[in-house]
Chains A and B, each alone.
Chain A
Amino acid sequence: MSKVNKSLPLEYSTEENDLKIFGFWVFLGAEIILFATLFSVYFTLVDRTGSGPIGKELFELPPVLVETFALLTSSFLIGLGVHAMRLGRTKAMMVFYILTLLLGAVFLGVEINEFLTYIHDGATIQTSAFLSSLMTLLGTHGAHVTFGLLWGSSILIQVKKRGLNAKTANKAFIFSLYWHFLDVVWIFIFSFVYLKGVL
């Protein structure tokens, strides 16, 4: 486990690191099923609005566009962060990661605000099957982002304290995979929940 292969990027350089990255891809496979299930539930229940509001009455595009912009940009920035890490430029890497997390926080802020508006308008998670499934889908994604903010920050502290080594680089790289994944899920939410909902 302590054997270091210098010809590979730091995050892949030990046997243990290689296993972790592979394992994380498998985990993402499970996450795809998780979100696929949530989407199927949403599509099943989307027209079952009971006496509550329908999507068209609820969705507003401008805040959703802000969310989309924040998340897409953050995903791009974390890519730059990984690139900087490969070049061994710790400072630059940290800056990109911090910007990523900040944009994640912006996303989360807008989303929470959106939820509060819905609730204010009398559209709660208990109102109808449609709203239960909508808020569970969005909430699960949002919870992933929240967890990502905590996780990303903890990794940044470790990079700061211990510098870039096989361990921290591995963690930072895996986190970037996670972050890209959340971005991809969001693109599906944006297209199939919001765009489809307002059209």
Chain B
Amino acid sequence: MSMDELFAPMKEPMILGAAISIVVGAVAIVAGLTYFKKWGWLYKNWLTTVDHKKIGVMYILVALVMLFRGGIDALLMRAQTAVPENGLLNAEHYNEIFTTHGLIMIIFMAMPFIIGLMNVVVPLQIGARDVAFPRLNALSFWLFAVGAGLLNISFIIGGSPNAGWSAYFPLASTEFSPGVGNNYYAWSLQISGLGTLMTGINFITTIMKMRAPGMKLMKMPMFTWSALITNVIITFAFPVLTVALAMMTLDRQFGTKFFAMQDGGMDMLWANLFWVWGHPEVYIVILPAFGIFSEVISTFSRKNLFGYKSMVMSMVVISLLSFMVWVHHFYTMGHGVMVNGIFSITTMLIAVPTGVKIFNWLLTMRHGKITFTTPMLWALAFVPIFTIGGVTGVMLAMASADYQYHNTLFLVAHFHYVLIPGTVFGVLAGYHFWWPKIFGFRLNEKLGKSAFWFIVVGFNVAFFPLFILGLDGYARRMYTYSADTGYGPLSMVSFIGALAMAVGFALICYNIYYSFRHSPRETTGDPWDARSLEWATQSPVPEYNFAIVPKINQLDEFWYAKKEGRDITAGKYERIHMPNNSGAPLWMSGVMFLFSLFFVFSEWTLVIVFAIATLGFMAYRSFENDEGHYIEVAEIEATERRLRGEK
């Protein structure tokens, strides 16, 4: 590929502007780090860390950045369609934006945000010192970061994918999507997906094998339960994606005929494989949010979670059903009545366990002493809004009716009505809830609540009109429409709602700065008077988590111990073994980044060089003998005293 083609996207003024601002931003960061001599600090404390809490924080940081990238895409789309026949974006640019918006929001925002919270919280909730494979955990993070980077540079170098986040064939084939955009799609997903699979394996092992003594499965906090089930889904769903993406790469770059229109290829095979992974993916991002809501609602209602067992059961049922509904994404693509009927029924069945959970949350709140903190507000708003999403989901699940409104804005409204309250509200609740645990001070409640109102009101203003527009026949993925369709006014309303949401997200960021400056530091470790084990540690949590690993007799042991005046973390300190930091995950991911980048451009010599380098890293790791280090008793004592605020 020539330089001219490589930087072709820059001919577009908006992309050039974005590119320049990225370069300026990057230069500013590099200059700042150099000026304040922070490189060593950054490398030693963050880039090479294997501490699950820091890895979690990095996940959340990248997820927030991606929320902004995906959010700008969204604003641009709503701006483009705010008035009829708008010329802000052309068709091609619009295609790229809805593709990257969907991909980034689901793969590089929702999922990593959730995995980030899991990283921070799960080992603490089960009383563990770390995850089972700390270094693998770092590798997972860096592979995800590298995948996100790959997708984000695509819009400057070579061009973004533009065949939708579901990349249906034949649209995504080289015939209809020439250029490298869809190669980027395949490789950014492939690389980050590998990281996700490793996370799945790591967390299943952690939760199954590293729980504090006495913590039987049915004594685990609900968020940990949701994490366990989610990671099982990850482990079973992601290999399907791996194969599908490999086949996409082979078809696009090596001329195989999997999805081709001639020589026996079968385009529907892609649709099937994609959604066999894609529908479970929806639950990968939503079940942990359910877990978060369970923790938040029971904490701020001062009551035990209602129906613990049925909560667990319904998650298990949802996870099984999630693998049996994929065809509902393409009822209209030529199946028989029988097939559509079966998938229609399995889809509607999911509403049953979901309904069970909704009722359990409501019953938890009943007669509770509710405090309306920011996390609780997110949980409260979730219930009615998600219910609208669920009801419209059942409407879509009726195959015969779906012929009417499928691929209209009705569908777009539906999945935003489940994804935004389900996932985004969930992670925001978790973020506010666990922030003091991670950083040792609370986020400002007033700012948190104003952000909440902007986002919740903005959300409904932005998305409710889309149900009406959709039923009116406004097809999804259209970059413009004529004035006599009458779509104009409601589209403008929707744009205004999106702007309000943007204000809300900006407030969330400002809150970080404001609280860092002004919030009082927190020394109890338990600012919300909460229930599960993570609140038994100091805040911020020391490297080794628990100085003394607690013994567990019941669900919410920490809560009952508090009420009975017992200290479950009392005992005699012993020295603690911890893994050493390592630069290998970072550098290996860097090498795999270059490998993928050159693969995208079919530069085979360089591909081979970096493939060999990757294998070299694996061999190096295999031969390395790293015994970790010990934290001595004196150091533990000093740390604990300092975090308790004693001199």
Contact = CB atoms under 8 A, between A and B. Distances in A.
B265 A129 contact: yes
A129 B243 CA distance: 15
Interface stretch (B57-65, B199-207, B588-596): B199-207
Nearest to B259: A129
Contacts of B242: 34
A138 to B, nearest CB: 13
A33 B619 contact: no
B262 interface: yes
B621 to A, nearest CB: 10
A74 interface: no
Chain A's interface size range is 35 or more
B628 A1 contact: yes
B12 to A, nearest CB: 35
Given A129-B263, A136-B246, A41 B269 contact: yes
Interface string B231-242: 000011011101
Nearest to A155: B622
A83 B35 CA distance: 60
A100 interface: no
B163 to A, nearest CB: 20
A181 to B, nearest CB: 14
A27 B625 CA distance: 23
Contacts of A22: 132, 205, 208-209
A49 B263 CA distance: 7
B348 interface: no
A75 interface: no
B255 interface: yes
Contacts of A128: 257, 263-264
B250 A136 contact: yes
Given A22-B209, A130-B264, A33 B622 contact: no
B532 to A, nearest CB: 23
A29 B235 CA distance: 8
A34 B264 contact: no
B174 to A, nearest CB: 13
B250 A38 contact: no
Interface string A1-40: 1100000000000000011101100110111011001100
B260 interface: yes
Contact of B623 (A30, A45, A126, A154): A154
B628 A125 contact: no
A126 B264 contact: no
Contact of A126 (B236, B244, B255): B255
Given A23-B201, A34-B243, A132 B577 contact: no
A51 B201 contact: no
A125 B200 CA distance: 33
A90 interface: no
B236 A29 contact: yes
B345 interface: no
B264 A50 contact: yes
A197 interface: no
Given A41-B243, A126-B255, A129-B264, A23 B622 contact: no
B161 to A, nearest CB: 22
Given A45-B269, A129-B266, A19 B577 contact: no
Nearest to B133: A23
A29 B200 CA distance: 11
Contact of B205 (A19, A38, A154, A171): A19
Nearest to B619: A154
B256 interface: yes
Nearest to B258: A132
Interface string A130-155: 11110010000000000000110011
Nearest to B237: A33
The CB with the most chain B CB atoms within 10 A, among A45, A52, A171, is that of A45
B132 A23 contact: yes
A129 B235 contact: no
Contacts of B265: 48, 129, 132
Given A129-B258, A132-B258, A34 B266 contact: no
Contacts of A133: 258
Contacts of A158: 622-623
A127 interface: yes
B36 interface: no
Contact of A38 (B200, B238, B243): B243
A117 interface: no
A30 B239 contact: yes
A37 B577 contact: no
B263 A50 contact: yes
B370 interface: no
B273 A37 contact: yes
A131 to B, nearest CB: 8
B577 A2 contact: yes
Given A19-B205, A26-B204, A49-B264, A34 B257 contact: no
B200 A19 contact: no
Contacts of B197: 30
Contacts of B75: none
Nearest to A129: B264
A113 interface: no
Contacts of A37: 239-240, 243-244, 273
Contacts of A34: 239, 242-243
Contacts of A41: 243, 247, 258, 269, 273
Interface in A94-113: none
Given A50-B257, A125-B254, A136-B246, A26 B264 contact: no
A70 B133 CA distance: 35
B188 to A, nearest CB: 20
B279 to A, nearest CB: 15
B506 interface: no
Contacts of B132: 19, 22-23
Interface string B20-37: 000000000000000000
Given A1-B577, A2-B577, A19-B132, A45 B264 contact: yes
B254 A126 contact: yes
Given A127-B257, A136-B247, A171-B622, 13 more contacts: A19-B209, A23-B202, A31-B239, A33-B235, A37-B243, A41-B247, A52-B264, A125-B256, A128-B263, A128-B264, A129-B264, A132-B258, A158-B623
Counting from the closest, the 7 A-B pairs by CB-CB distance are: A48-B264, A129-B264, A50-B263, A132-B256, A34-B239, A33-B239, A50-B264
11 contacts: A18-B209, A19-B132, A22-B208, A29-B235, A37-B273, A41-B247, A126-B254, A129-B266, A154-B619, A154-B623, A158-B623
Interface of A: 1-2, 18-20, 22-23, 26-27, 29-31, 33-34, 37-38, 41, 44-45, 48-52, 125-133, 136, 150-151, 154-155, 157-158, 167, 171
Interface of B: 132-133, 197, 200-202, 204-205, 208-210, 235-236, 238-240, 242-244, 246-247, 250-251, 254-258, 260, 262-266, 269, 273, 577, 615, 619, 622-623, 625, 627-628
